[in-house]
Amino acid sequence: MDQLTSDSMLSIALAASIFIIFKFMPRILAWGIPFHSPDVIKGRMDNGDNVLVIDVRTGAEFTGKLGHVPGSINLDVATLAGKINELGEKLAPHKDAPVVVTCRTHNRSPRAAKILKSAGFNDVSILNGGLTAWNKAGHPTERQV
């Protein structure tokens, strides 16, 4: 019985560890890059901060039912590195300005934020909860259908 209890405890601990790792994986991937709530980002925008919001979802998601943050640009994470090189001069003025990366929840954003940091963007953060949280907070969105 003791062996069964010990094996069961080990299984529970392993399952809990895996759950915790997957739950916090976006934060682990984005080590050193802050996550900000929708209210904080909206407040910065309302205060006139020149915030560039980069939405890293696919084009279909960007124009889909969740909509997107007004004024945001869509650069799919799958092609982000190439787009940064392609848009070099257009993005250059934003390298020292606040840049917020978003996706549907916040699972793709950390990878994109790391790409932006590597490309020389200095003030990068992640919209915590992505467009799902933005909508839940009741903030405005644009939709292109």
Q: Annotated catalytic sites, by residue?
A: 103
Alpha-helical segments (H) within 31-75: 38-46, 59-62
> How many Cβ atoms sit within 10 Å of the Cβ of residue 137?
13
Cα–Cα distance between 84 and 80 in angstroms, integer?
6
CA-CA distance, 101 to 127, in Å (whole number)? 6
Is residue 68 within 8 A of residue 51, CB to CB? The reply is no
Largest interatomic CA distance in the chain: 68
Q: How far is the first Cα of the chain from the last one, in angstroms, to the nearest whole number?
A: 62
User: What Rg do the C-alpha atoms of the chain give, in angstroms?
Assistant: 18
